Structure formats: structure tokens, C-alpha cells
Structure 1
Amino acid sequence: MSTPSIPFSRRNFLRTSSLASGGLLIGFNLFTACKSDVKPPVDLADLNYNDFNAFIKIAKNGAVTIFSPNPEIGQGVKTAMPMIIAEELDVAWDNVYVQQGVLDTKNYTRQIAGGSQSIRFGWDALRQTGATAKQMLVNAAAARWGVDASELSVSEGIITNKAGETLSYGDVVEEAAALEVPENVTLKEPKDYKIIGTDQRNVDIDKIITGQPLYGMDYKVEGMVYAAVLRPPAFGQELVSFDATEAKAIPGVIDVIQIGDKAKALLEKDKVNWTAQLSGSGKVVVLAKTTWDAFKGKKAIKATWSDATPLESTEFHDEKLNALLDGKDFVTMRKDGDVNKAFAQADKVLERTYESPFLPHNCMEPMNFFAHVTDEKIHLVGPVQTPEDAANTVAELLGRDVADIHLEMTRMGGGFGRRLYGDFVYEAAEISDAIRKPVKMVSSREDDMSTGVYRPSIKYRIKAAIKDGQLTGYQLKEAAINGNMYGLIPNFFPAGAVENYQVDVANYKSNITTGAWRAPYTNFLAYAEQSFFDELAEEMEVDKIKLRLDLLEKVKGTTDERIEYSPERMQKVIKMAVDKSGWGKQPQGTYQGFVAYYCHNTHVAEVADVVIEKGLPVVKKVTCVVDCGIVINPLGALNQIEGGIVDGIGHSMYGSFGFENGQPTAKNFDKYRLGRMKDAAAVETYLVQNELSPTGLGEPTLPPAGGAVANALKAATGKRVYKQPFIEQEELWQAKQEEILG
């Protein structure tokens, strides 16, 4: 809910009047003009903005320039965050321009793209920034006219007094710069919003469609060389020796060097933070005039690698996960009541195991980064989701002060968690440090898929106790390769709804690098749990929707502060999805599957409509209801919702990936199938309207999609799928084809 009057934190607010062009500089992110006839201000390169992570600059000509500090990976924060400021600043969105800020840990916190948290964490501070700037400008106008500020009104950057006289923001900006920052500001009520809640297109869309430089791959400077890195072909191997004779003979190849010593030293000192996937092995680097020359040179390297024991394979991982599920080496993350007693006293016990493979990230833009290391500074430019961690690790890696580092963020051609890990940044920095030239490290598609960071392979075992027709016990076990990042989320549904409830985790430590993959820890869990709930309802002989609603009813009024979801909000999206999807009323031959799920602070319900064509499943439509609080940009929200669903369906249906002797079984899209255009289902979206603070949207609709499809497949075939990808469950489709053929 909007707060009419809110104290302002000076730590989040910065102003100065020392710019060469004059004006007011206010900490945060956006670039806008106040009047329709105002053009963008002078070349931004002439403004001294590098000392600030994010700010509004109001120039004497009435223009307002706002820089965005958060990384943009396609989730739309570069549009939505400025909209929040522009709303409270009271300027016309049609005249808003947005510029990407640089890393600046002094003046800004949480410059991260991850966890669908940017809007949620920025909501209050962004509003405060816009409202405070507006109040200072109004106070300056009031002082000039000799009236009380409360007598003035503002609309689209124009201040008006009771006599009808007007001043633009630019007219009073110098007076405003001399005023004290107000201790309290009044924020708008949602009913008064003019920008928030309206459809606004991506602020970079014109540059994207006209091919203007925005991405890391676009960045180049005079004298820059290109680098391709030859890494160990199998996880667990280390470099023994290499012969670069043929590579150096290729036209365009400048030199071949080895790196890795600095990374190995850092690992030995245990100075690597959670985002650093540094290899302790040596790596061979080909330096060339073009990327193509570097790639050709890399293929010509003759390298010898030592073998690790064991070189892991999919069968090996399968055995390890099964052993973990059957063993006792679990860490209990939550324990309510006594599940063992509940199972012993149950009339029925239902137990199922669900399996998922490793998955690569497959960002459209391959990993790349620019680095130029000199004695004076370290200049870094490129696409990274965690710029602060990247800068800190580079400082440790090269033995430099982090103050020496200037890091600029570019727009990213996909992140999905892969660019949380700065290995490509560290490689570029170490290469430049060795050659003391500006360098762009560029990976190929094969590099990304075969030497990357993967969603871990996981197995879930879920067990439920039924007594007198009621769910009396529930136990969830996770076995994962390297652990599932944060482990399970033990306080999500059905936590609080079952008296005897336990969540346990175990992991096998592997040489294969794993980490966050879009909607980490829930991307597969949602399918497993929601498939289990459907089967549980069948076992209990109750309606699937009613089972979920009844369990949520038990959570209402809970005093358990650990519970993260809202039973009321979850019930609302469930009922709305049932209504909007025509649940149970579809024509013969259309099979429906239902899922309700909470993650990343957002409540979602989805219904998938599946048909069988030529004996194989086709997802025709998904009806999705989302409660994410106040929706900043409905158009951007729909893009995120639909993209998450399409992504979730594609990977659960087709995503097959594993390892053989430490090497991935697929190294490019000839052997790894993504969801294709023809596989994309129609998505019908409904947003719950309320005035609650906004929550995440980049990830929450992906996890439920797989579960909705799996439950629809059960309706279509009469059989359940317990393993992803679904399309590989050949016995299921063979039986259906035989049925169709009669």
C-alpha cells in the first residue's frame, strides 16, 4: 500500500550543483525531459556522472537525465524502474530517456540482476527519489513566488500557482540545488498514478531493432585484440602441456599464452565468493585480430590434459543421487511434528520420485567481456549480472585495490543465472593483465555449452501420509549434484498446512560446475510437487482444486512467521484460473492440467490445455493468473509472464542434457533441442489488481508451467511422467499412438 508520508534516507539520495552545465543531481536512475519540446541535454559524455551509480539530472533547459544502475538482462528494469521515479517526479513519460549507469558501490546498493528482486527492493527508494526531487523543485518555486509550497500544483514538470502562473523545473533548478533535502515527502496514492500501470515499450527497443551498439559483443576500442580460451574438455581435467605451432601460423593470430596461475592461487587462498566459478587448471589463450581468427587458432592448439578420477557420466550421477535418497546423510531444513509417526499410523502412504537432468543456460549472446589493465586502472566493460562481485574478485585476482576498477555494464543478450558467475570477467582481466592491452574475451556457442555452469541434476522423493481421509504427514527429500544452490525452500506451500511436515536435503559434490538457472530451486520442484498433489488428490478421492484450497484454508491466521506465501492470495489466483480457463469444460480431445505455485514473492496459477497430434503431445494454450502486487508496466509484465511460460514448457518437454566421461552430451543446438516457435503455446494472462507492493515477474511463471503440462499429460494418457524431459518418455507416447491407431 502507498505510504502518504515517508521519511527519506539521505544515504539513498545525492544531490550536487557542481556540474559544468549547472542543475540538480539527484541520486537514482532515469533520463527524462519535462516538456514535450525539450530535446535531450548535451552529450552525456560531457557530464561528470561516473562518480554516481544512478541519478536524475535536471538541467537549466528543463531536461531531466536519469541513469539506471541495475543490470538489464531483458527483464525490463531499465524501463520499469525509471517509470517509478518519473511517476513521483511528475514528468511526462513520452519525454523520458534512460541511460545505463556504471558500477558504483559508494552511492548505490544491490546492483544485481537476480532473483526477480530489482523492483521489489527498489520500490520504496525509487518513489522517494522522485518525490523528493519534486518537492525540492516545488519549494524553490514557492520561494520565488513568496507563497507556501502547499499552494502549488505540478503536472508533467510544470509548476503552477493559484494565479495561474507557471514555472518549469528547469526554471527553478538552480534555486532547488541550494535547498535542504526535505526530511519527509508525500508519495502519490495508486489512484493518482499516470505512468505506473500503463503500457510502455522497452526504452532500448529502437536501438535493438536498428542494431545500434548495446550489448557486450558490440563494445570495441582502438587497439583491442580478441581472445579465445581453450579450457579443459572434460570437467576434472587439468592442462599438462600444449603445442601452439600450428595456431601461431594462422593469419590473424597474434600470440598464444597460458593463464590460470592467478586463479589457482586465489582458489588456494579461499578468496573466491559464491559467484566465482574459477578453474584451478591452466588455460590456453589465443590472441588474434578478429574473433574468427581466434577461434581458428584455438582449434589448432594441440593440448594434453590430465584425467580426473572419475570422469563423471549421467549413469554415475544417477547412482549417486539414488544412493543419497536411500541414505541417511540429509540436512533437515524444517521439521514440524513427527512425520515418521504419521507414516506409521497412516491408512495409506503415497511415495513418488521425480528426476531432472542438468540444463545449460543457452544465452543468445555468448559469454564475453572487455578488459584493459594498466598500472593506473582496470577498465571492465560487458554483460554481467553481479558487477560488484565481479569487481571484487578481479581485485583479489590481480592483487589490486578495488578502487582501481571502473566497470561499465552493457545490456545482456540473455542471463538466466549464467551471468551471475563472473568466470568470463576474470578470464578477460587475467589476459589483459598478462599482455597489458585492451582485450575482448569471446566464447563460442560450444564453449558456453561445454564449459559452462549448469542447472544441477536433481531427484526429489515426496512422501505423504493419509489418515481418515486427511493429509497427516508430508516429507520432501532433495538429492542434488552440488546442492541446489540455496537448497529447497522449506517455508513455501504446503508448509503450515500439514501438521507433520519435514524437508531434507543432501548433495553429491561434483567437478561439474553448477549454479542458478532461471527460477533456481523452484524450476523443477514446482513440477514435482504439483504433480504429486494431483496424484495425492486421486489417492484421497477428492477434487484436485479442492485439496489445494482446503490445505490453504488451514494456513489462514497462522502465527508462524516462517511462512512466506499468502494463503488468501494463493486461493484467489486458484479460483480465478479455474474460472478463466474454463476448467473442466473443454471439448473432447483437449486435456487440462492445473498448478498453483508461489515463488520469488509472487503467487501464480496456471492451466495448460494439451491435445495429442500424431500420437505426440502439443501444448495449445496456457491460462495464467498472477498476483505480483502493483504492476508497473503491464506490457513488460506480459512479456515476462509469457516468456517464462514458453521457456518452462520448452525445457520440461525437450531439455535433455547429460555427461559422458566428464564431457557434455550436447555441445550445440544440433543435439540440444530448445522449444521452437511451433512449440510455443498461446498464453492468456490475467493480473490480479491490488495496491500491494510489487514483487518479481522475471521467473515466477516458469516453474508452474512444467507441472501444468505434466498434469495435462496425465489427463491425456492416463499415465504420469516422473522424469524430464517429457518427450523422452517413449513408452507413454507409444501407448497413446497404439490407442489412436485402434
Structure 2
Amino acid sequence: MAPSKKMTFSRRSFLKSSALASGGMIIGFNLFNACKPEAKLPVDLSALNYNDFNAFIKISEEGKVTIFSPNPEIGQGVKTSMPMIIAEELDVLWEDVYVVQAPLDTKNYTRQVAGGSQSIRFGWEPLRQTGATAKQMLVNAAAARWGVDASECSAKNGVITNVKGDKLGYGDVVLEAAGLEVPEDVTLKDPKDFTIIGQGKGNVDIDKIITGKPLYGLDYKEEGMLYATVLRPPAFGQILESFDDSEARALPGVVDVITIGEKVRAYNDSGKNSWTMPMSGTDKVVVIGKTTWDAMKGKKAIKAVWKTETALESSETHDKVLLDLLEGNKFNTRRQDGNVKHAFANADKVLERVYESPFLPHNCMEPMNFFANVSPEKVRLVGPVQTPEAAAQVVADLLERDLEDVSIDMTRMGGGFGRRLYGDFVYEAAEISNAIQKPIKLVSSREDDMTMGVYRPSSKYKISASIKNGKITGYHLKEASINGNMYGLIPNFFPAGAIENYQVDTANYKSNITTGAWRAPYTNFLASAEQSFFDELAEELGIDRVQMHMNLLDNVKNNPDANIEYSPERLQGVLQLATENSNWGKTEAGVFQGLSVYYCHNTHVAEVADITMEDGVPSVKRVTCAVDCGIVVNPFGAMNQIKGGVLDGIGHAMYADFGFVDGVPKSNNFDSYQMIRMGQTPQVDVYFIESDIDPTGLGEPTLPPIGAAVANAIYAATGNRINKQPLINNLEPKEKVLG
């Protein structure tokens, strides 16, 4: 175990405290040391505007602790796990901790975002510092009262004890502590002494969730609020030409029909740019109703005429364009080690495969929605968004208001998966409320979400490997993607550093179909492609799959110039743990296994899928998942994230198919788009690498590897390689299946 750490930081840039007028102490802190030195802490909760600090701890005179959780909660558990970290170092009983969602701080907060599986990783050290500092202040106050040195005192479970055995509760000295200087030096716990971190804690909102208490954006209501629905173009590439709203206006409950789009056009024309706005300035028809049902009925009654502005694209065209790109030479080279061309020219054999994936919608359980109340005095926004700070800035720009006039209160989110990184629904709500000068709730239907969403881009990979004297001498990965697959490839992930001649190239086709981040961006299909390829490569080399990976990772360890982001030792660790616990290669008759090992979002994962064939169709029965994410803060939450990622990955790799015909999505609801069903979910067994390394992300890393694990298991069962998702659509006919 790692020894306890002594941390030194500037109190002027990190943390301030004050007594509360209502009793107790409040500590304001900035997770990323970005507070302004002149910032003043409010003296009462009623005065909190969250502009100077991005998180707060309140300690009452009864010793109860309220922690204001700063990051948006989309089910990833940060509203529970981040306060656990503070409570651990503060040394209080978890049952004495209350957690409240903090509103947006637009001035000083550098990452009030839910995305990228980075909340715990970024917050780990500052959250620990904050809890330890608050504890030290309380200890110092108790020592001063007793007239002893603070080193003679200790704190545990909210109680301070001196060497004589005298005791004081945190609440007994909280007012005195509020008047003390913030200590510069604090000592963090040794991980072996943790009593909260590493213990499974239930979701802090679980009682409200299971009893249906208002938590989510769709739950939010205000007196006098109206409801709005938006009629958008039916196809990407179309714009509004005209519309007849007479039938809609005649319906009882319909209050008004308006158009929006002017504000977005002005924003775009101004030259401003925000990646959170994946929307054009085309006019859209908005129906305002007294209820959601009124607004939705009114929208169906609108007779709109649309005209084609740009090409109406189809999936068949995309397929051809991407394949042409793979065969062309218009690529951006992301990494080039050695000389791939030379390795291929001198190879005994070159293995080359193409892997294909479709567009995918996000399909959050809670459709997009947001509340907006725009008045001359202020702009008040409430709802579920993963990027509140960016959303506030865009709204201020759209409405030509000062940022200080815009406030966002965050609700819990019924799923995000990257969709709520994009604030188009926030901006629409703000524009609607601004137009009618009344509070409104914008509500989308499932059809709205699925047909006018922000999709995972369709992409194709061409992977080639050269073999010389039974060894891999070269590796060439090419990506062709619609709109560039957001970030492009990650060239420093495995197998970078493992193969002497290694090259990664990307190309993209610019489309008018909006694409963006989808759970585990850039790796969600890349992992499936690469790990399927390595399975076939191992067979070509006549070597065990596990041993081939171990050998390649040994190459990395022996390469001082590897230039990689992953740890070969940690990948070997999860690979060994997964194979040992899955009985790799020792299953009973009729059970077939596939393996995949991957690193992304700072976490190392290995997965083994067990499948059986039922009437010629594969059924995933069990997944063994080994994870190295450093210290596990909350095992309950971690298990939920890991299993959720695995099941989500299986569902989309096996069944999800989405595309376009003349710009129109082929599916608009779950009657034509298959998500994984309850009966298709396997048992998922999770194993953690024991570690005292700082924690990394869990919301996304277990999704990417599972597609290849399942595909490789299907190959083991049938002898057929499936290089195109969804896998179930590309099975060989039943009579050809061997299993």
C-alpha cells in the first residue's frame, strides 16, 4: 500500500471557510485550484451564488455534514462517489452525510461536465485535500480550546480526541473552526485506513428513484408553465418552406404556434462556435400547449412543406463513400513508427480485413427536455444536460444577454451516453421562452429523439498486418468515418509500441447528418474491430490468443521509445485475471468462448464471452470481466457501471441497426430498432485488480471490448468471422452454422 501523503497547496486559491449566520460552518472549495484570491465566501446558504467556488461543504452544529455535489448526475454515480471521497478524509460517519446537487458555476469551474469517464479521476486528489483540510481545521479548533498542540489530537467518525481521552464532536467546535486560518499542510490517509472508500454505498438518490419522487428533468414543473414541442425537418438536408397551422390552433389546449431558428442563424452568422450546438439555423415550427399531450397533438396537426437544400444522403451511399476512402490515399497520418510499406513488401503474408459499423442513436430512457423562463431580468434554465457551463454561455450569446443573467439548475438525467453533451434542446427551450416571454418546458417524444438526434457516426476500418518468419512485423490501421468519428483514432493505444512498424491513418466524409460522441467515443467500435482482427491473427500465426497478447505486451515493456498511453503490465494483469476466472479454454461442450482486452478512458479491461448456439442463433450466457481502474471508490456503483457497459455493448453490437434513406432515418421507435431485451442479458461476473493507484473511469471502458469478445465467440461456435455490426444481421444461414 502507498504511504499517506502530505499535501501542500495554496489556501488562497483552493479553499475558504466562514461561519454561517444560521449556525455551523461552510467551506467553499475549487476542485481545480482555480478560485480567485479575492473571492469572498458567503455567510449563509441563502446567499450562495456559487460564483466564487465550485463546491461546498456545510458542517452543522449538530455535526451533520452536507456536501454539495458539483458534477451532473447521469447515473454514473458521481453524486454518491465524489462525496464519499470527501467524507473519507473528513472522517465522518457516512450516515451523517447528506448530498445535494449544486447548481452551475459559470465563472470558475473548469470541468462541471459529465462525460469521458473523468469525474472521479480529475476530482480524486482535490476532493481528498478538501476533506482532510476541513478535518484539520476542526482538530485545530478543538486543540485550541483544550490548550494543547493539534498533533496531540486525532479525529474519527466526527469525534475529536486528545491524548487525555477528552472528546469533542465536530459540531461542538465548528463555529471556532470557521474563524481559523485554512491550514497549508494536511496529511491524507493511507488507503489501507479507508473506512468509506472501497465500501459499497447505495445511491444517495435511491429512495427517491424507487418511490418516483421528482428528480429528473421531465419531473420539473412550475406554476403557469406551458409545454412546447418542435416540428423539425423530416430529413437531413431539408428546410421549412411553409406551413399551415389552422388545424393545430383550433385544438383545445393549444396556446400558440410559432417558428424558431432566427437566433441560431444569428449566432452562426456571428462567427461564434460551440461544439455543443449540432444544429442548423433552419426554421422549425413550435407548438405551445397547456399540457405535453396538447402540444404533441398540435404538432401532428401542422401541415408543413419542406424543400431540399442539400443532398439527401442514404446509408448505401455512405457505405460506398467510406469503402472508396479506405482504398484511396487521402488520409491524415496520426502515427507512423518504422516503415510499414517496407514491412509489407518483405512479408511472407499480409492479413487484411475490413470492419463496418452503422450509425447509432443514443436512446436515453428520458427523452430530451428542458425548462426555460426568459424574462427581462434573468434567464432561468432547469433540466438534464451534461455540459451546463457551455450551455449557459451559448444561451447568453443566443439571446444577447450577459452570462451573469443566465442560471442553470441541474436535474438528475435519465441517461446521457453523450447525447446530453449537446445542448440543442436547451437552446431551443431558451429561444421559445424568449419569443413568448413565458416559462415553458420543451419536451421531445421518442420519435423526436431518434429521428433528429446526434448519432454515433458510421465508420469502417481497414486493418492489415504483415507476417515474416511467424512474427508480426507490421500493422496498418485505416479509419474512414462519417464526419471524422469526432476525435479520430487514438494512435497511442494498444498495439502502439508493440509492433516495430506501425501506422495509423484517418479519413472522413463530411455529412449533413449530425454526429458526435456516443458512449466511449472513438473506441466503441474500434475495439471490436482491432480485437476481432487480433483473434484472427493469432489463428493465422498458430498461437494461443492469450499468449499472443502477452508476447506483444512484453514487446512494449522492452521498448523504451514506446510512446503509449496504456500500461502493458496492467493489460497483462486483467488478461490473466479474466482468463483464470472464466476457465478459458476449459468450458463444457456446447459453450464457446471469445476474448477481448482493451484500454480506454484510462482504464484497462479484459472480457471473455461465453455463448451457446440456440437454433442457429448465438446467445450470450456469461461474460467474465476483469477491470483495473485503480482504487475502487464505491464497489456498488462500480459494479453497476461495469455491468451496464457490458450489457449496453452486447446489445448494440448484436442487434442495433440504424441508417438513412434519402436523409430520413430508417427507424423512429423501438418497434423497428432493437435494443437488448431482458431475456438476452447474460450473467456478468466482475473481478477487480487490487490496487492503491489513483482511480480512473468506469462509465465507458467496459463497453468497447465486448463486441469483439462476442464476435470471437461466435467464430469459435460457427467457424464464421463476422466483420460487420450488428452481428445478428450478418450471421451465415442456419444450415451453414456448425455449432
Q: CA deviation at 1:151?
A: 0.6
2:455 corresponds in structure 1 to 454
In the alignment, which residue of structure 2 is the partner of 1:277?
278
Q: Which residue of 2 aligns with 1:302?
A: 303
Describe the SS at the equivalent of 2:276. Answer: coil
- Map 1:323-402 → 2, pairs under 5 A: 323-402=324-403
1:41 maps to which residue? none
Q: Distance between the aligned counterparts of 1:270 and 1:320, measured in 2?
A: 30
Spell out, residue by residue over 1:325-370, the C-alpha distance to the aligned partner (whole angstroms, 9 max, x if none): 1111110010111101110010000000000000000000000001
Q: 8 Å contact 2:15–2:30 — kept in the other structure?
A: no
Partner of 2:93: 92
Q: How far does residue 15 in structure 1 lie from its aligned partner after superposition?
A: 2.8
Match for residue 623 of structure 1? Answer: 624
SS at match of 1:502: strand
Correspondence 1:650-669 to 2 at 5 A? 650-669=651-670
Q: For 1:710 and 1:682, how far apart are their aligned partners in 2? A: 17
**Could you tell me which amino acid in structure 2 is paired with residue 211 of structure 1?**
G
Q: Distance in 2 between matches of 1:543 and 1:561?
A: 24
Q: Tell me the residue number matched to 2:482.
A: 481
Distance in 2 between residues matched to 1:202 and 1:54, nearest whole Å? 20
What does the per-residue CA deviation read over 1:160-200, in whole Å, with 9 as the maximum and x for residues that have no partner? 11222111111111111111111111000001000000010
Q: How many angstroms does 1:29 deviate by?
A: 10
Query: 1:639 corresponds to which residue?
Result: 640
Alignment of 1:95-110 (within 5 A): 95-110=96-111
Shift of 1:504: 0.4
Q: Summarize deviations over 1:688-735 as a string: whole Å, max 9, x none.
A: 001000000000000011110000000000010010001101425441
CA drift at 1:223: 1.0
**Whole-angstrom distance in 1 between the partners of 2:426 and 2:4:** 41
Question: Contact conserved, 2:19 with 2:178, CA < 8 A, in 1?
Answer: no
In structure 2, relative to structure 1, the CA distance for the partners of 1:97 and 1:12 (3 Å cut) is farther
Shift of 1:629: 0.1
Aligned partners of 1:606, 1:422: CA distance in 2, in Å? 34
Q: 1:290/1:734 Cα in 2 relative to 1: closer, same or farther (>3 Å)?
A: farther
Residue of structure 2 in register with 1:17 after alignment: 18
CA contact (8 A) 1:488 1:521 kept: yes
Deviation string, structure 1 residues 606-653 (Cα, Å, up to 9, x no partner): 000000011110000000100000000011111111110000001000
Name the counterpart of 1:672: 673
- Structure 1 segment 35-50 matched on structure 2, within 5 A: 46=46, 48=48, 50=50
The letter of the residue matching 1:591 is F
The equivalent residue for 1:37 is none
Letter in 1 for 2:570: R
The 8 Å contact of residues 229 and 284 in structure 1, kept in 2 or not, is answered as: yes
After superposition, give the CA deviation of every residue in 1:429-473 in whole Å (9 maximum; x if it has no partner).
Answer: 001111111111000000000000000000000000111111110
Give the structure 2 partner of residue 35 of structure 1. Answer: none
CA distance in 1, matches of 2:441, 2:586: 57
Aligned-residue offset at 1:106? 3.2
- Comparing 373-382 with 441-450, which one deviates more in the overlay? 373-382
Q: How does 1:116-265 map to 2 (within 5 A)?
A: 116-265=117-266
Q: 1:371 to 1:11 in 2, by over 3 A?
A: farther
Measure the CA separation in 1 of the matches of 2:352 and 2:148. Answer: 74
Residue 560 of structure 1 deviates from its aligned partner by: 3.5
Which digits, 9 at most, give the CA deviation of each residue in 1:131-157, with x for residues without a partner? 000001101111111000011111111
Report if the CA contact (8 A) 1:28-1:66 is conserved.
Answer: no
Contact 2:720–2:732 (8 Å) recurs in 1: no
Q: What secondary structure does 1:17 align onto?
A: strand
User: Where does residue 598 of structure 2 map in the other structure?
Assistant: 597
- The structural deviation recorded for 1:14 is 3.4
Q: Following the alignment from structure 1 to structure 2, what is the Cα–Cα distance between the partners of residues 686 and 450?
A: 39
1:734 & 1:98 partners in 2: Cα distance? 58
Tell me, yes or no, if the aligned pair for 1:19 and 1:47 is still in contact at 8 Å.
no
Measured in 2, the distance between the counterparts of 1:309 and 1:197 equals 54
How many correspondences in the alignment? 725
- Residue in 1 aligned with 2:523? 522
Query: What does residue 724 of structure 2 align with?
Result: 723
Q: Is the 8 A contact 1:216 1:383 kept in 2?
A: yes
Flag the 1:208–1:47 CA change in 2: closer, same or farther, 3 A: farther
Per the TM alignment, residue 271 of structure 1 is displaced from its structure 2 partner at its CA by: 1.1
Distance in 2, Cα, partners of 1:145 & 1:533? 67
Distance in 2, Cα, partners of 1:513 & 1:733: 37
Q: Secondary structure at the match of 2:286?
A: strand
Secondary structure, in 3 states, of the residue corresponding to 1:731?
Answer: coil
d(CA) in 1 for partners of 2:522 and 2:700? 11
Query: Contact conserved, 1:14 with 1:25, CA < 8 A, in 2?
Result: no
**CA contact 1:254–1:289 (8 Å) conserved in 2:** yes
C-alpha separation in 2, matches of 1:603 and 1:348? 31
Task: Quote how far apart the aligned CAs of 1:506 are.
Answer: 0.5
In structure 2, what residue type is equivalent to 1:651? H
Q: For the Cα contact (< 8 Å) 1:336–1:502, is it kept in 2?
A: yes
Compute the displacement of 1:258 (Å): 0.5
How do 1:402-413 and structure 2 match up within 5 A? 402-413=403-414
- Superposed displacement of residue 269, structure 1: 2.4
Counterpart of 2:151, as a letter, is S
Structure 2 counterpart of 1:38: none
Report the 3-state secondary structure (helix = DSSP H, G, I; strand = E; otherwise coil) of the residue aligned with 2:18: coil
Letter of the 1:392 counterpart: Q
Shift of 1:49: 5.7
Tell me how far apart the structure 2 counterparts of residues 11 and 731 of structure 1 sit (CA, whole Å): 66
How far apart are the structure 1 equivalents of 2:552 and 2:697? Answer: 25
Equivalents in 2 of 1:604, 1:281: separation in Å? Answer: 44
Moved more, 168-177 or 670-679: 168-177
Aligned to 1:53: 54
3-state secondary structure, aligned to 1:477:
strand
Residues 475 and 502, structure 2, Cα contact 8 Å, conserved in 1: yes
Does structure 2 conserve the Cα–Cα contact (< 8 Å) formed by 1:153 and 1:161? Answer: yes
C-alpha separation in 2, matches of 1:86 and 1:561: 40
Q: For 1:177 and 1:233, how far apart are their aligned partners in 2?
A: 59
1:380-416, CA deviations, whole angstroms, 9 ceiling, x for partnerless residues?
1100001111111111111111111111110000000
**1:53, CA displacement in angstroms?**
3.1
Residues 721 and 335 (structure 1 numbering): CA distance in 2 closer, same or farther, change over 3 Å? Answer: same
Per-residue Cα deviation, 1:481-517 (whole angstroms, up to 9, x for no partner)? 0011110010000000111100000100001000000
Residue identity matched to 1:573: V
> Structure 1: where are the runs of 5+ without partners?
31-43
Partner of 2:294: 293
- Return the offset for 1:304: 1.0
Of the structure 1 ranges 498-507 and 46-55, higher mean CA displacement relative to structure 2 is found in: 46-55
Please give the alpha-carbon distance, in whole angstroms, between the structure 2 residues aligned to 1:26 and 1:433.
37
- Helix, strand or coil at the partner of 2:604: strand
Q: CA deviation at 1:47?
A: 6.6
The answer as to whether partners of 1:28 and 1:126 remain within 8 angstroms in 2 is: no
Number of the residue aligned with 1:553: 554
Change (3 A) 1:710 1:467: same
Tell me how far apart the structure 1 counterparts of residues 178 and 314 of structure 2 sit (CA, whole Å).
Answer: 64
Unaligned runs of 5+ in 2: 32-43
1:258 counterpart SS class: strand
* Alignment-mate amino acid for residue 104 of structure 2: L
After TM superposition, give the deviation of residue 324 of structure 1 in Å: 0.8
CA distance in 2, matches of 1:390, 1:278: 13
Retained in 1: the 8 A contact 2:93–2:157?
Answer: yes
Give the conservation status (yes or no) of the 8 Å contact 2:498–2:562. Answer: no
Show the counterpart of 2:34. Answer: none
